[in-house]
Amino acid sequence: MANPDLLVGWKAIADFFGVSERFVKNRRKELMDAGVIFYRVAGKPKSKRVCAFKSLLKTWAMLKASKGEKL
């Protein structure tokens, strides 16, 4: 059963914010440090996929906005 709050892949995360994949990838370290994105290994052959929960992304974006920072 898939979790509707889970986004898998850079494209899905970028689409959630309405920005480019490059924009999100450039903020990878910031997102990792905040605990917003994580990697999961799955499939055959095993591959690493970036994942994020929509709720954590929303919280992170609101925190940035409250500090007066742009996304």
Q: Is 2 helix (H, G, I), strand (E, B) or coil?
A: coil
Residue 1 has pLDDT above 70, yes or no: no
pTM for the full model? 0.84
Residue 54 has pLDDT above 70, yes or no: yes
- According to DSSP, residue 49 is labeled E
Q: Give bridge partners of residue 5 from the DSSP assignment.
A: none
Give 21-50 pLDDT, tens digit per residue: 999 999 999 998 888 988 888 778 888 889
Burial class of residue 24 in the structure, from the number of CB atoms within 10 Å of its CB (0-12 exposed, 13-18 middle, 19+ buried): buried
Q: Is 52 helix (H, G, I), strand (E, B) or coil?
A: strand
Q: Is 13 helix (H, G, I), strand (E, B) or coil?
A: helix
Tokens for 52, please give them: 């994020």
